[in-house]
Amino acid sequence: EAGVTQSPTHLIKTRGQQVTLRCSPISGHTSVYWYQQALGLGLQFLLWYDEGEERNRGNFPPRFSGRQFPNYSSELNVNALELEDSALYLCASSWGLAGGGETQYFGPGTRLLVL
C-alpha cells in the first residue's frame, strides 16, 4: 500500500513569490494535515482538512491557505513568501472524524528555501 506522497521534494523561491505544495494521502484516508518544521521552531500544526472542508487551523497568517480536492489530495499555498517561511513542510493523513485521535501517517516532506 502506498504511503503519503508529497511533491515537489525541494523548492527554491524568492521573497514575495507564491508557492504551492501538494500531498496525496493514503488510499481510504479522508483527513489531511499540514505541519511546518522551521529551523529552531520545531514542528508546528498548520491546517487540517477533512471531506473537503478546513476543520482546524494553527497560528499562522492568512497567507497560508490550502484546499482539499474530491479525491482527498490537498494543496498548501503560501503567498507573499518571507525568508522565515523556509522550512520542511510535512503532510500527514488519517482516517476521518470517527472518534478523534486517529493515527496520522506522514509523508517525506517538501523542503522550501526562500531567498
Binding site for another protein (CB under 8 A): 31, 33, 35, 42-45, 48, 50, 55-56, 58, 88, 90, 92, 94, 97, 100-109, 111
Residue with smaller CB distance to another protein, 42 or 70: 42
The answer to whether 90 and 107 have CB atoms below 8 angstroms apart is yes
Burial of 106 (C-beta count, 10 Å sphere; 0-12/13-18/19+)? middle
CA distance 90 to 18: 18
Residue with smaller CB distance to another protein, 62 or 101: 101
Residue 72 CA neighbour count, 13 Å, CB half: 20
CB of 2 to another protein, least distance (A): 14
CB of 16 to another protein, least distance (A): 26
CB of 86 to another protein, least distance (A): 13
